[in-house]
Amino acid sequence: MSDNAKMPLRIVVDSREQCPFRFEGFNAVVTVGTLEAGDYSLAGFERKVAVERKSLGDLIGCLSGDRARFEKELARLRGFDACAVVVESSQPTLRLGHYRSAMDAGSAWQSCLAFMQRFNVPFIWCNSRQDAEQVTFDFLRHYHRDRVRELEALRIPARIAPAATERRGPGVGMDGRPDTPQGRTGGKGNPLPRAPAGTRP
């Protein structure tokens, strides 16, 4: 594991997040900022990775009365390298209609499927708020780890022989000796043949 991988994750929480995760006990440093999309991101990658957090009640509201605004949010997330909607509830809870809303459970589930397909944004269903916090941290951590690996792969030292870096003047061969016609030989050590006078080689 590289030293970068051991460093605390620099998580940015959107200033408009109503009930933010605090990531207490996680290897993370949390700052508050204004994000273009999503509720959580990484410092330096605010336009690359984002997580949108939803309680089940929030999600149902976004699938019904606040649907237009939610679609705009998903459209912004679609342009990111990595993004997800993390729901603080399980999928069966939604599909069985265990929530306080008049919205039909079947319609709510079909809307989720349609949005995932239309905007290419996955919905990650969790067992609880605590589980959703862990999932959010891990989602951002994996993205950060992959970016660190990419940077480390680019830091490959150039393998150039020291002799090849020496400056050579005109008429000097690769071995540093004068490159003269008399010194050039064929494949078996014989002088290279010369074209007869008056002919083109």
* pLDDT per residue rounded down to tens, the chain (201 residues): 445 557 899 999 999 999 999 999 999 999 999 999 999 999 999 999 999 999 999 999 999 999 999 999 999 999 999 999 999 999 999 999 999 999 999 999 999 999 999 999 999 999 999 999 999 999 999 999 999 999 888 886 645 444 444 455 555 555 556 555 555 555 555 555 555 555 555
Nearest to 22 by CA among 126, 132, 123: 132
Separation of alpha carbons 7 and 29, rounded Å:
10
Separation of alpha carbons 183 and 191, rounded Å:
8
* CA distances from residue 185 to 48, 151, 170, 179, 190 in whole angstroms, order as listed: 59, 47, 19, 11, 5
CATH level 2 (architecture), domain 3-152? 3-Layer(aba) Sandwich (3.40)
Determine the pLDDT at residue 151: 86
Joined tokens for residue 148: 């660190």
Residue 174 has φ and ψ, to the nearest 5°, of -65, -30
Separation of alpha carbons 8 and 30, rounded Å:
9
Determine the pLDDT at residue 152: 87
Residue 50 has φ and ψ, to the nearest 5°, of -160, 150
Place of tokens 């269903």: 125
Determine the pLDDT at residue 4: 53
